[in-house]
């Protein structure tokens, strides 16, 4: 079986290549109160007072967007934004694997 067919099978089984996972386990009500409400209000207040802290207190400091409108995708050409998603997911995987940067694929239909 060639790489294309193997890739198609993997995409079907996994429904894409990336997922969101939490850095913080939520095992109790206290954990939830720290991760979400009411505890999350404090980091929000700090960022509101000093927007430069957003990079220290959120994922913003280690994240990039991988953006495409699907008009020029690898050797595939203008395949459109939906068809570009597997390539953008692959780029996100490379960012994570080789630079430990969280990348968010965004394919826009404009």
Q: Return d(Cα 25, Cα 22) in angstroms, integer.
A: 7
Identified catalytic residue from 3, 17, 91, 96: 91
- In degrees, rounded to 5, the angle at the alpha carbon of residue 26 between the alpha carbons of residues 19 and 36 is 90
Q: Is there a single domain that holds both residue 72 and residue 97?
A: yes
Q: Final residue of a domain: which of 57, 78, 95? A: 57
Q: Would you call 17 a catalytic residue per the annotation? A: no
How sure is the predictor about 1, in pLDDT bands with cuts at 50, 70 and 90?
confident
Scanning the chain, the segments in alpha helix (DSSP H) are 3-14, 29-35, 41-49, 54-57, 81-99
Q: Return d(Cα 25, Cα 43) in angstroms, integer.
A: 18
Question: Do the Cβ atoms of 59 and 103 come closer than 8 Å?
Answer: no
- Whether 110 shows a pLDDT value over 90: the answer reads no
- Over residues 12-68, the pLDDT tens digits come to 999 999 999 999 999 999 999 999 999 999 999 999 999 999 999 999 999 999 999
Q: Would you call 98 a catalytic residue per the annotation? A: no
Q: Is there a single domain that holds both residue 50 and residue 64?
A: no
Identified catalytic residue from 3, 17, 23, 36: 36
Q: Final residue of a domain: which of 57, 78, 94? A: 57
The pLDDT value given to residue 44:
97
Q: Return d(Cα 19, Cα 23) in angstroms, integer.
A: 13
């Amino acid at each position: 079986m060639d790489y294309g067919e193997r890739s198609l099978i993997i995409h079907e089984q996994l429904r894409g290549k990336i997922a969101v996972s939490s850095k913080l386990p939520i095992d109790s009500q206290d954990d939830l109160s720290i991760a979400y409400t009411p505890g999350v209000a404090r980091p929000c207040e700090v960022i509101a007072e000093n927007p430069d802290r957003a990079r220290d207190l959120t994922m913003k400091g280690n994240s990039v967007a991988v953006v495409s409108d699907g008009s020029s995708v690898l050797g595939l050409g203008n395949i459109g934004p939906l068809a570009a998603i597997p390539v953008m997911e692959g780029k996100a995987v490379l960012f994570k694997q080789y630079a430990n940067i969280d990348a968010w694929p965004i394919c826009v239909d404009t």
